[in-house]
């Protein structure tokens, strides 16, 4: 350890002497370095439509119809091609559809009748409610009390007349008072009967409108119930069964026809009428060209970290180097693919100003502009 320190001291001393003997130079301050701008990311991609589909028959047979040509615009659900063995399935669908429509019309008629009955019951209830609301209930109650008092008074008179008559009835008609007491009893009974009649009539003034309203309310409730069950009655089960049969028949027919799954342009027709084809042969290719995109194919894990959603992109087609289009990053795949030892990520770019000369599938160079 001591030897090492002594050697270090000698070396240090010699270095200082040499430095002192050396000619003195002016010290210059190094200029600040200019930051190197972040480089743009450049990748390769391909021009693709918003969505596309390659359509085939699900069954084997002879091509009976081709209803489109390249360049035709089609709507979702349009029949593009048909096999010659589609006729039985189409006939079955027609038969089931007719049965379904007939049952639906009957169900609609029943629903309409039940609805009309419900509306009529509402009108009857409204009239009954108005009559009940129009009566002077207090006045009627007061008159009922008066009539009841009159009945009570006539009952007293009738009881007295009955007692007086009972006192002489055993004497027979020869008794001088028999006829008088009998007449008095009859008059008392008639007065009592008239008082009861007046009381009952007054009570009806109150009870009849109330009973009419209660009956109207009950009838309306029943009509409403009948209407509601008509919406989900026995016919609904039949409708559901036929609807299921129709769906099954349409599913069968889908094996023999090719229909457009979305609005699109026909890009290719691969078969001809009379040709025998099966599921392995595509019939038509369609594409939704309402928007165009570029999908990258070689962005590595080192490049993808410099790409962000919403980032501006310059696009140049290999076949048309003079064409420059603008785009914007719409989506970045979170899944990767392994290719030649490289980890690659797909980026989807929406093209803003599409040049009509660029075609589906063309190779393009995309430049992801670095943030300043």
Instruction: Say what the pLDDT of residue 30 is.
Output: 46
**Pairing state of beta strands 282-296 and 320-339?**
unpaired
User: Which residues are 81's β-sheet partners?
Assistant: 66, 258
Instruction: Say what the pLDDT of residue 14 is.
Output: 46
Instruction: Say what the pLDDT of residue 26 is.
Output: 45
**Pairing state of beta strands 276-277 and 264-269?**
unpaired
Alpha-carbon torsion angle 285, 286, 289, 291, nearest 10: -90
> Given a cut of 50, is residue 142 above it in pLDDT?
yes
> Given a cut of 50, is residue 35 above it in pLDDT?
no
> Given a cut of 50, is residue 219 above it in pLDDT?
yes
Other residues' Cβ atoms within 10 Å of the Cβ of residue 78: 16
pLDDT band (50, 70, 90) for residue 243: confident
Other residues' Cβ atoms within 10 Å of the Cβ of residue 189: 15
User: Which residues are 62's β-sheet partners?
Assistant: 276
Q: Which residue ranges make up each domain of the chain? A: 41-78+260-368, 98-236
> Given a cut of 60, is residue 197 above it in pLDDT?
yes
> Given a cut of 50, is residue 4 above it in pLDDT?
no
DSSP 8-state symbol, 37:
P
pLDDT band (50, 70, 90) for residue 21: very low
Instruction: Say what the pLDDT of residue 225 is.
Output: 84
Helices (H), the chain: 2-21, 87-134, 137-168, 178-231, 234-253, 301-304
> Given a cut of 50, is residue 10 above it in pLDDT?
no
**Structure token pair of residue 66:** 């081709």
Contact indicator for 298, 43 with CB cutoff of 8 Å: yes
Structure confidence by residue, pLDDT tens digits, 59-109 = 899 999 999 999 999 999 999 999 988 878 788 888 888 887 777 677 777
> Given a cut of 90, is residue 262 above it in pLDDT?
yes
Nearest CA to 74 out of 308, 239, 286 is that of 286
> Given a cut of 90, is residue 200 above it in pLDDT?
yes
R_g of the chain, CA atoms, integer Å:
51
CA distances from 300 to 248, 254, 343, 345, 346 (A): 48, 42, 6, 6, 9
User: SS3 of 179, please?
Assistant: helix
- From first CA to last CA, the distance across the chain in angstroms is 57
Query: Rounded distance, CA 357 to CA 138, Å?
Result: 92
Question: What are the DSSP calls for 34-53, one per residue?
Answer: PPPPPPPEEEEEEEEEEEEE
Answering whether pTM is above 0.85, one says no
Nearest CA to 229 out of 344, 117, 88 is that of 117
Nearest CA to 230 out of 138, 106, 142 is that of 106
Query: Rounded distance, CA 45 to CA 363, Å?
Result: 6
- Please state the length of the chain: 372
Contact indicator for 50, 290 with CB cutoff of 8 Å: yes
> Given a cut of 80, is residue 149 above it in pLDDT?
yes
Query: Rounded distance, CA 176 to CA 181, Å?
Result: 10
**CATH 2.40.30.170 applies to domain 41-78+260-368:** yes
Q: Quote the mean pLDDT of the chain.
A: 85
**pLDDT-wise least confident of 2-11, 15-24, 144-153:** 2-11
Structure confidence by residue, pLDDT tens digits, 279-336 = 999 999 999 999 999 999 999 999 999 999 999 999 999 999 898 999 999 999 999 9
Instruction: Say what the pLDDT of residue 56 is.
Output: 95
Instruction: Say what the pLDDT of residue 36 is.
Output: 35
Instruction: Say what the pLDDT of residue 232 is.
Output: 67
Instruction: Say what the pLDDT of residue 272 is.
Output: 95
């Amino acid at each position: 350890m001591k030897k090492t320190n002594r050697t270090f001291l000698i070396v240090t001393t010699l270095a200082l002497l040499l430095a002192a003997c050396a000619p003195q130079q002016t010290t210059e301050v190094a200029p600040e370095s200019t930051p190197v701008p972040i480089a743009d990311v450049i990748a390769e991609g391909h021009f693709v439509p918003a969505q596309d589909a390659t359509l085939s028959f699900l069954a084997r047979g002879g091509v009976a119809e081709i209803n489109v040509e390249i360049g035709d615009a089609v709507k979702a659900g349009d029949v593009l091609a048909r096999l010659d063995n589609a006729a039985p399935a189409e006939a079955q669908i027609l038969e089931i559809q007719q049965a379904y429509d007939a049952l639906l019309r009957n169900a609609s008629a029943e629903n309409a009748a039940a609805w009309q009955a419900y509306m009529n019951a509402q009108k009857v209830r409204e009239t009954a409610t108005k009559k009940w609301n129009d009566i002077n209930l207090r006045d009627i109650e007061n008159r009922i009390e008066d009539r009841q008092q009159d009945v009570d008074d006539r009952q007293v008179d009738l009881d007295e007349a009955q007692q007086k008559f009972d006192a002489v009835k055993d004497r027979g008609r020869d008794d001088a008072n028999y006829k008088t007491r009998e007449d008095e009893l009859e008059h008392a009974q008639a007065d009592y009967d008239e008082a009861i009649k007046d009381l009952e009539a007054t009570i009806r003034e109150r009870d009849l409108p109330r009973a009419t309203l209660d009956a109207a309310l009950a009838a309306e409730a029943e009509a409403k119930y009948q209407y509601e069950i008509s919406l989900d009655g026995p016919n609904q089960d039949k409708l559901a069964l036929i609807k299921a049969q129709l769906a099954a028949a349409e599913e069968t027919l889908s094996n023999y026809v090719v229909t457009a799954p979305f609005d699109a342009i026909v890009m290719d027709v691969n078969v001809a009428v009379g040709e025998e084809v099966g599921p392995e042969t595509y019939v038509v290719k369609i594409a939704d060209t309402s928007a165009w995109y570029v999908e990258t194919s070689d962005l590595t894990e080192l490049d993808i970290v410099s790409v962000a959603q919403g980032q501006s992109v310059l696009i140049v087609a290999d076949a048309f180097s003079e064409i420059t289009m603008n785009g914007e990053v719409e989506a970045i795949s979170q899944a990767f693919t392994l290719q030649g030892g490289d980890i690659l990520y797909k980026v989807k770019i929406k093209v803003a100003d599409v040049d009509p000369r660029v075609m589906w599938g063309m190779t393009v160079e995309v430049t992801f502009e670095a943030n300043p």
